[in-house]
Structure 1
């Protein structure tokens, strides 16, 4: 009898929502090569029972994220990784608008007692230094405002490699924007410890 009852009593896996755009969705990659499956495998290798939910929508902006966050956060979600802003950068969306949208997304999560790991986007310099400074400040400002976990920018592990041209050839798809499967592995290895901190912090709540 105990053998039959035990599975029903086992703790359910932690539900982790990865909320973002094509970087989260796994654009251009096989189903097992994207950020979500690689992160879930990384966590499992470290003994964490986590179901990572793919909340990535290719092409999504912070405004799109704000519009869908309410239904994306189901009752089962325990924690969230927030990775939005890249498409705002590509479109030159005003930093103050992106900030307001991200603020609203974070507020929605926190109102449901869902902790957030905030993953920044780093602005290129093509819109000028003022735009870059204003956009790059969004993420640390919001992390400080709400006491969030703040990770390094999503693509930083690739950008930090000493030979930028060689790094992009080896770790980025031909579009020059999205990591390939090897690039995703670098991203997961860098973000993984931050995610562990987020997940393990749930036990203390």
Structure 2
């Protein structure tokens, strides 16, 4: 497993803004809400008839939801497009919710998992870090989400997306927050994406005018980061 990338000091302000946006009330966000691309659908209110395909579900906050970009430009949709281009037997579901915390995710994960999944990508915790929520609470909520997935879909592969925060609340808290993802992944034998925003966080060019959310180009980089982890799980041969 590759070590987590160390955040350069120049990125601190960008990450602070990023996490602030993820922490905003979803009712106040004004991202576009055009229909999702065919490769990705949102979690439906009622279970749909089985398509015969395996199910890959992204469960997270505004990063997963694709705030501020067209749905087909968000990284879950880009992963779905890659899957479709390779003719893989998977449907991709975007269950991202802007403003989500680990506590909120714990409350709604059972609703999302009314149908079993084969791969579950868990991207939560950044909002907890910004709010200074005790790491014991974040750890407990993430563990509860993982336990629910294991209970509802015992054979699912769970991928945990790591996040980092600036040291606004103290270097010790930021360091322990970063380590929390590695600890949870090791404890539960999960596949870990060391840092979801590798190469994107803090880049003015790769974030929207608000300096917070990735642009379409930023989402393409995030999608490549995610795909590197998903590729072996979906048994896709590596290519140059």
Q: Which is greater in Rg?
A: 1
Q: Report the counterpart of residue 79 of structure 1 in structure 2.
A: 119
Task: Please state how far the C-alpha of 1:69 moved relative to its aligned partner.
Answer: 0.7
Matched, 1:152 2:194: yes
Q: Residue by residue, what CA displacement relative to the aligned partner does 1:141-191 show, whole Å, maximum 9, x if unpaired?
A: 1111111101121111224xxxx6xxx222111222211111000011111
3-state DSSP of counterpart to 1:157: coil
Q: Report the counterpart of residue 149 of structure 2 in structure 1.
A: 109
Q: How many residue pairs align between the two structures?
A: 184
3-state DSSP of counterpart to 1:156: coil
Alpha carbons 2:76, 2:223 under 8 Å: kept: no
3-state DSSP of counterpart to 2:199: helix
How do 1:37-116 residues align onto structure 2 when only pairs under 5 Å count? Answer: 37-111=77-151, 112-113=153-154, 114-116=156-158
Q: Report the counterpart of residue 18 of structure 2 in structure 1.
A: none
Task: Please state how far the C-alpha of 1:45 moved relative to its aligned partner.
Answer: 2.7
Distance of 2:177 and 2:209 partners within structure 1:
26
Distance of 2:118 and 2:80 partners within structure 1:
15
3-state DSSP of counterpart to 2:52: coil
Task: Please state how far the C-alpha of 1:75 moved relative to its aligned partner.
Answer: 2.2
My pick for the range that moved more, 16-25 or 129-138, is 129-138
User: Highest relative contact order (Cα 8 Å, sep 6+), 1 or 2?
Assistant: 2
Moved over 4 A (4+): none
Task: Please state how far the C-alpha of 1:32 moved relative to its aligned partner.
Answer: 1.3
Distance of 2:131 and 2:82 partners within structure 1:
33
From 187, 207, 210, the counterpart of 1:172? 207
Q: Report the counterpart of residue 4 of structure 1 in structure 2.
A: none
Q: Report the counterpart of residue 197 of structure 1 in structure 2.
A: 232
Task: Please state how far the C-alpha of 1:82 moved relative to its aligned partner.
Answer: 0.3
What runs of 5+ residues in structure 1 fail to find an aligned partner?
1-10
Distance of 1:175 and 1:14 partners within structure 2:
37
Q: Which has a greater percent of helix?
A: 1
Superposed CA RMSD:
1.7
Matched, 1:185 2:220: yes
Distance of 2:234 and 2:110 partners within structure 1:
21
Q: Report the counterpart of residue 137 of structure 1 in structure 2.
A: 179
Alpha carbons 1:16, 1:52 under 8 Å: kept: yes
Task: Please state how far the C-alpha of 1:48 moved relative to its aligned partner.
Answer: 2.1
What runs of 5+ residues in structure 2 fail to find an aligned partner?
1-50
When normalised by structure 1's length, the TM-score is: 0.84
When normalised by structure 2's length, the TM-score is: 0.72
